[in-house]
Amino acid sequence: MTALSIVDDVHTEIGEWDGRGWFPPGPQLAICLSGGLDELSDTELMEVAAAARRQTSWAQARELAAIAELSRRRTAAENDDATDCRILSAHESVVEEVAAALTVTGNTAATLVHLADRLADDLPATRQALETGRIDLHKTRVICDLTDGLPDGIAERAEAAVLDKAPDQTTGQLRRRLRRIVRRLAPEQLEERKREAVRRRDLQIWDTPDGTADLAITGLETTEAHAIFNKITAVSRRIRSDGGTRPLHAIRADLAKELLQGAPFPEAAHRLLTQPVEPPCAEATTAPVTAPELPRPDVTLVETLAEMADRRLTKILTHARASGRAKALPFLITRAVQDMHDQLHGLCENWCQTTGQTPDRHGHSGYRPPAAMRRMIEARHETCVFPTCNRRSNRCDLDHTIPWGRGITCQCNLAPLCRRHHRTKQSPGWTLIQPWPGLLIWVTPSGRWHITLPTRQ
């Protein structure tokens, strides 16, 4: 058998994924991807992985297109004279609506809305490349970020210059190439962007999943940042050569921590050479602090009410779609939640009189809640009650769900809201109702509902 005949025999064995290397993303590819993987060859598994990534790009393009259309509608409906600082702008309202619908943070939602708007208005070729699976969301963000704020026509030229090679580049390679192009096409804008980033410099902290925290300085001049890093690295190498037993990366981190806490370089270096490699944990020397038990709604009852509300609202949604009344959903859902609140009013009043700080009295007579009531609400909800907000409740407003005057100061009408989500509650189209103490139901301008339960669930 000749070599040519062997090749011919190989090509006659058609695998399941042969010829699907660039099968276009969409509903048909989704069906193909739903099959099993056990019988596929290694080559076919990589074909499936690549196809799944193209399908993901297509789905993300659809997600961003939906967000862009929502943003367009909200902005078109906004009153040009609306300058009330107590409510959100149309853009801010869309951000919060997206955050709640997709269960992402406000910052992530703002990034998605901005990206969706840019793809819809300024970067149509990038949008098409994402929709057809030629590039993924990470590369899309690189193109969006580096072309943001460029003069008319420059962004399109930069986009056109990089899209041909973008499918075969990593995000790092794409970023470097695009930065070179932007520097050539719009050097003044690139320099201004750098100056603006320096003006926005900040010291940031965030918690990590493993129980530690990360600390970072953002917006430094590149030369300054490298000079600081190089200096700390040089001293860290000296500490290690003098007998330091920590890894170099750990010495760098510990040295930076000592310096930020005020120790001069010689003293900081001496401490790292003499102190134990692993400092004792704070938990070993500090007795745990337990919060006092405070009255709170019965967990089982709150959960049951939440499940009943969700089932009822889901039925309304299904019926509205089947009867062609989807556009009336915001009104229908809000009315149903308000009905639930009204039906529970008598039971809620009795419950509050029984469990409140003052027996036989519903709520407090003044506007400001007593300290004990505030502690109870903050223990019930450890964070702002907006579905995706993580601001601690002791840094929030203790808001009257029904405004003071019409509503009372009581555990059934109070909940912590950060300033932004306090404004969200007051914005057109948004509704917040508390049918039972600690059970809060948000209704968005699009008619979606989001249920917040006490933190201790």
> CB neighbours (10 Å) of residue 264?
10
Task: Please state the domain extents for the chain.
Answer: 27-196, 203-277, 299-452
* Mean pLDDT, range 186-211, rounded to an integer: 88
Model confidence, pTM: 0.79
Q: 100 or 205, which is more confident?
A: 100
Q: 164 or 243, which is more confident?
A: 164
Q: Which of 41-45, 143-147, 420-424 has the lowest mean pLDDT?
A: 41-45
Nearest to 432 by CA among 423, 446, 442: 442
DSSP β-bridge partners for residue 399: 415
- pLDDT tier at 134, thresholds 50, 70, 90: very high
Q: What is the pLDDT of residues 58-104, one digit of tens each?
A: 999 999 999 999 999 999 888 665 567 788 999 999 999 999 999 99
For residue 438, is it left (φ>0), alpha (ψ between -120 and 50) or beta?
left
Q: Which of 132-141, 174-183, 348-357, 390-399 has the lowest mean pLDDT?
A: 348-357
Q: 236 or 449, which is more confident?
A: 449
Average pLDDT, the chain: 86
- Structure tokens given for 166: 């973008």
The predicted structure's pLDDT at residue 268: 79
The predicted structure's pLDDT at residue 79: 66
Q: φ, ψ for residue 324 (rounded to 5)?
A: 75, 30
The predicted structure's pLDDT at residue 243: 79
The predicted structure's pLDDT at residue 276: 65
- Structure tokens given for 86: 């107590």
User: Buried b vs exposed e over 192-212: b needs ≥16 C-beta within 10 Å?
Assistant: ebeeeeeeeeeeeeeeeeeee
Judged against a pLDDT cut of 50, whether residue 4 lies above it is answered with no
Angle subtended at Cα 336 by Cα 333 and Cα 341, rounded to the nearest 5 degrees? 125
Judged against a pLDDT cut of 80, whether residue 125 lies above it is answered with yes
Q: How far apart are CA 251 and CA 137, in angstroms?
A: 36
The predicted structure's pLDDT at residue 6: 41
Amino acid 165 reads: K
Judged against a pLDDT cut of 90, whether residue 284 lies above it is answered with no
